[in-house]
Chain A
């Protein structure tokens, strides 16, 4: 077994990990990035459509182009990237952290680092997780796998598809399938509003006249050798109305029903998770409850745009760089809570006396709203007007934080 040392170890080579590694290395820290697949870039590599990077690079890039940019930045800054290497365990106790890594090239590696950045991303929730009834034949895919089959291997997952869930990956896949000659029968969404961005409804569904059935649920998947049909039903008062159940003929069903941060590794090393985000609980330096272990990107909470992933990765990197240099952040004594109309806020604790960045997600659709941050006494600490509010779109806020025991974030109608 070999031992390697670094100032900062970054786990995961997607957008978050590459951005963080680039920034750590640029700050002069010896940075080691561990990526389990054979190429860096994460899910960006299969997202061949454009629409990435408008905020960060001020131009519209495809996924591979965005990956290429952040990878080049990381390489030029001198970050070392280990490919085909999986972190099996993190020992987070003590000043120096130890990662046990299984690598195809180097066998078992022990990596010792002063700071660790978790950037493992997320996985797709699948048919099995939802317990959708029916058969387990060929033709049942996560949207992401179907995307990978087409965009990396030129393989078609079917000839006539139904897409369950209107998340962005599902919408993007509706267009991709249509472009590749695969008929998309419909997209069904359990909520009364779409889960993906409005522009994707426009350019991925409306362009192809693909029906979007809101407030509908998949009630079964049937077929012997391969999927032959699915059954769907409208939801009435939150319950499928089986009297209105109908069959839709298809040989393929794609699931785009939500993403789950991949925190099994974090959990195993004692990192506390937020049951709403499924990501670590962090302070405003994006540090977890284990000192010296930071988190960013989709492993922390699921983002809508890669640009925000990279912004967050920059902040985690800055914190890790400071930590590795021996600086210790001030106490994050402010408890941050998600109140009315919000599902969650990240970070979970804020530090008084400086500007803190917050990301949050609404729990409902609102036309015009005000984001309000209040103290326990009801004093408004910060407010911001928002034109549209949707659960699909992340809300961000940054403001100097005065001392308080608790901040409660709410969305008010206005």
Chain B
């Protein structure tokens, strides 16, 4: 049986989770809400994070658009994703919510603008 101690990152409460994993059976203690259980299960099997970054605008002035992934991304895929985001140039205008990147590096990733950069 494997034991883990994790801090839930779902909300600012930051619950200290105690997780026991035996095969597919996972038990969680220390959570205050169901989201803690879901987080613990994900974290010990396939940890994921929401990624935020800025992307350069294809514009004469220096302008950077804040972006985020619409869902948590497998942690191992984050470096590849960031590399792509830092080398991209997006055409203006950009509105919050505009999809700027899809399926990179894996099919489940969508990156949207969270602001205009202005």
Q: Which residues of A line the B interface, CB within 8 A?
A: 39, 45, 48-51, 54, 60-65, 67-68, 150-154, 179-180, 197-199, 201-203, 207, 304-305, 393
Which among B12, B51, B114 is the interface contact of A199 at CB below 8 angstroms? B12
A151 and B12: CB pair below 8 A?
A: no
A207 and B12: CB pair below 8 A?
A: no
- Tell me if B21 counts as interface (CB < 8 A to partner A): no
CB neighbours (8 Å) of A304 from chain B are 12
Q: How long is the Cα–Cα vector from A154 to B8 in the complex, in angstroms? A: 30
CB neighbours (8 Å) of A48 from chain B are 52-54, 66-68, 114-115
B9 and A179: CB pair below 8 A?
A: no
Given contacts A50-B52, A154-B62, A179-B51, could you give 7 more A-B pairs where the C-beta distance is less than 8 Å?
Answer: A62-B115, A68-B96, A151-B64, A153-B62, A199-B10, A202-B6, A393-B12
A54 and B64: CB pair below 8 A?
A: no
- Tell me if B104 counts as interface (CB < 8 A to partner A): no
Known A45-B115, A50-B52, A62-B66: A179·B82 in contact at CB below 8 Å? yes
B62 and A202: CB pair below 8 A?
A: no
Encode contact with A along B94-118: 1 for CB under 8 Å, 0 otherwise. Answer: 0010000000000000000011011
Q: How long is the Cα–Cα vector from A60 to B114 in the complex, in angstroms? A: 12
Q: How long is the Cα–Cα vector from A33 to B71 in the complex, in angstroms? A: 35
- Tell me if B26 counts as interface (CB < 8 A to partner A): no
Report 23 cross-chain contacts, Cβ distance below 8 Å, ordered by A residue.
A45-B115, A48-B54, A48-B66, A48-B67, A48-B115, A49-B52, A50-B50, A54-B12, A61-B114, A62-B52, A151-B54, A151-B66, A152-B64, A152-B117, A180-B82, A180-B86, A197-B12, A198-B7, A199-B11, A202-B6, A202-B9, A203-B9, A393-B12
A65 and B96: CB pair below 8 A?
A: yes
CB neighbours (8 Å) of B78 from chain A are 179
Please, which residue of chain A has its CB at the minimum distance from the CB of B11? A54
Q: How long is the Cα–Cα vector from A305 to B12 in the complex, in angstroms? A: 8
CB neighbours (8 Å) of B7 from chain A are 198-199, 201-202
Q: How long is the Cα–Cα vector from A203 to B10 in the complex, in angstroms? A: 10
CB neighbours (8 Å) of A199 from chain B are 7-12, 14
A179 and B62: CB pair below 8 A?
A: no
CB neighbours (8 Å) of B52 from chain A are 48-50, 62
Please, which residue of chain A has its CB at the minimum distance from the CB of B79? A179
Q: How long is the Cα–Cα vector from A246 to B106 in the complex, in angstroms? A: 44
